[in-house]
Amino acid sequence: MTDTAVQRFYRFHAYVYDATRWTILHGRRRAIDALQLKPESSVLEVGCGTGLNFRLLLDRLDPARGSLTGLDFSQEMLQKADVRVKRAGWANVRLVQGDATTMQLGRTFDAVLFAYSLTMIPDWQGALRAAHAHLKPGGKLVVLDFGRFENWGPLAPVMRAWLRSSHVVTLQPYADEIERIFGNCRRTSCRGGYYFLCEADRT
């Protein structure tokens, strides 16, 4: 199958990702706190990239009882994640190459995290439906992503256009769709709309 534009984008960006993204991707700790993980939780990160969230997630899990699955469709990003996992010796991490919209992992999780991945997925509704299908009843979904820049005045369209050039679409009704699929959604807008957090429970 032909690679998508986003896969091609990350073929190069995988090599500069960790060195550059700390400047623009914020709210990780807040998103991971919102997952309310227990030591024995099973977590799926959809669009895990190079694994920048892994340490924060694994700090909350018992290595013998908790587990983390990272899914991404970019081979280059996953290779970086694999190096990170092997270097740290994390035995409870599994990496899967796959598409968020068609994933079928054959199991369910206590928590699903999208961190700066949902807004890059053209069929983001399909990805949310797949996430719902991979959550246990009582499980938690957290989405952290770029917001609408609603309080950024004349800079707002500039920020949105800049992100659009990196395949990030900010103006879709993400929270409404989560509410529709999950029957609940708490949306928090941070830093004037720079990023948002959505939390939902699978009932």
Ligand X SMILES: C[S@@+](CC[C@H](N)C(=O)[O-])C[C@H]1O[C@@H](n2cnc3c(N)ncnc32)[C@H](O)[C@@H]1O
User: In the complex with ligand X, which residue's Cβ is closer, 72 or 110?
Assistant: 72
Nearest distance from residue 80's CB to ligand X, in Å? 9
Residues forming beta bridges with residue 201, ordered by sequence position: 140
- Structure-token pair, residue 113: 């995290």
Nearest distance from residue 83's CB to ligand X, in Å? 14
- Structure-token pair, residue 108: 């369910």
Contacting residues toward ligand X, per CB under 6 A: 6, 10, 21, 25, 47-49, 52-53, 72-74, 77, 99-101, 115-117, 120-121
User: In the complex with ligand X, which residue's Cβ is closer, 13 or 148?
Assistant: 13
Nearest distance from residue 117's CB to ligand X, in Å? 4
Cβ of 149: how many Cβ atoms within 10 Å? 22
User: In the complex with ligand X, which residue's Cβ is closer, 76 or 110?
Assistant: 76
Nearest residue to ligand X, by Cβ distance, number only = 49
User: In the complex with ligand X, which residue's Cβ is closer, 34 or 121?
Assistant: 121
Nearest distance from residue 174's CB to ligand X, in Å? 14
> What distances in angstroms separate CA 7 from CA 1, 87, 190, one per listed residue?
12, 25, 28
End-to-end CA distance of the chain: 36
User: In the complex with ligand X, which residue's Cβ is closer, 6 or 142?
Assistant: 6
Nearest distance from residue 114's CB to ligand X, in Å? 7
3-state secondary structure of 161: helix
Q: Is 136 exposed, middle or buried (0-12, 13-18, 19+ CB in 10 A)?
A: middle
